[in-house]
């Protein structure tokens, strides 16, 4: 009997992906294509985040709202990079699963909708993971107010992590922060709200946190515990929530809700 010689170093035993076309319908393939592109975008975003971590973010560790801007920048850049010059990851995943090349029509459609997947309302309604990781510097700034936050949480019946998340979105823990609308301090209280909440010194961290928490507590009661509506009221004012019978159609407010919920998922994890 002749001896069969196997030269394994030069043989590709999986050179052809098994035929699996019959396993997936056209609709399923379209979903797989979009998921593959979304995964590539997420991977690119993680790479961007890793690149900026050594410098405490693109905008520096002490910048007001820098962690929010970093997250938005990384997300938008990842989406842009995925659209303009893909890494080939989506194509590889799609081919591995279906045995086919990623169709150019589906690929373009998925890319054109990739920004839509980041829409705040879609993220919240779909239940997808919108966890946002703050910078270590901002976490350190906020952690120094843990005792005050816990006291305010107990006094007004608001979850301490919700208070932390609002502070993170409002000021990133900068007690001297001032917005263009003259909102001040950790929870960015405007003068009229501070006065209504009994805050005499808006720059005092304890008074600011207690005043902001008291206001947020009232909004939560007003909207029967609906956090999204309470956050919408905190950002855009209760009058706008009433006017639009829900979250106002303001991009700033939608993004604000997404940021706070994202931070909450981080603090709860």
Give the residue numbers annotated as catalytic, written as ranges.
Answer: 170
Distance CA 33, CA 69 (A): 29
User: Do 151 and 205 meet the contact criterion of CB atoms below 8 Å apart?
Assistant: no
User: Do 263 and 169 meet the contact criterion of CB atoms below 8 Å apart?
Assistant: yes
Helix boundaries (H) for 99-159:
104-113, 120-126, 136-143, 146-156
Q: Residue 129 in 3-state DSSP?
A: coil
What does the angle CA 31 – CA 34 – CA 39 come to, to the nearest 5 degrees? 120
The residue assigned the tokens 């301490």 is 160
Q: Residue 189 in 3-state DSSP?
A: strand
The residue assigned the tokens 């507590």 is 217
Q: Which residues contact 131 (CB under 8 A, 6 or more apart)?
A: 262, 265, 266, 269
User: Do 32 and 97 meet the contact criterion of CB atoms below 8 Å apart?
Assistant: yes
């Amino acid at each position: 009997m002749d001896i069969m010689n196997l030269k394994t170093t030069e043989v590709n035993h999986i050179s052809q992906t098994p035929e699996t076309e019959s396993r997936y319908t056209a609709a399923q393939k379209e979903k797989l294509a979009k998921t593959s592109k979304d995964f590539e975008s997420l991977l690119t975003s993680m790479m961007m985040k890793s690149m900026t971590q050594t410098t405490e973010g693109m905008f520096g560790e002490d910048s007001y709202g820098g962690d929010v801007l970093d997250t938005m920048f990384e997300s938008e850049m990842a989406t842009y990079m995925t659209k303009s010059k893909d890494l080939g990851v989506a194509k590889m995943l799609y081919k591995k699963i279906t045995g086919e090349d990623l169709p150019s029509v589906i690929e373009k459609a998925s890319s054109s909708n990739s920004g839509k997947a980041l829409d705040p309302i879609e993220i919240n309604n779909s239940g997808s993971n919108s966890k946002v990781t703050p910078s270590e510097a901002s976490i350190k700034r906020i952690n120094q107010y843990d005792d005050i936050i816990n006291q305010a949480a107990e006094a007004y019946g608001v979850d301490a992590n919700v208070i932390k998340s609002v502070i993170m979105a409002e000021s990133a823990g900068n007690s001297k922060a001032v917005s263009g609308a003259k909102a001040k301090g950790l929870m960015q209280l405007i003068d009229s709200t501070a006065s209504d909440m009994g805050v005499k010194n808006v720059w005092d961290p304890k008074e600011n946190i207690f005043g902001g928490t008291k206001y947020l507590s009232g909004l939560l009661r007003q909207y029967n515990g609906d956090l999204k509506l309470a956050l919408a009221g905190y950002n855009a004012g209760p009058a706008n929530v009433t006017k639009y019978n829900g979250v106002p159609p303001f991009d700033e407010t939608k993004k604000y809700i997404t940021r706070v919920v994202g931070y909450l998922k981080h603090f709860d994890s």
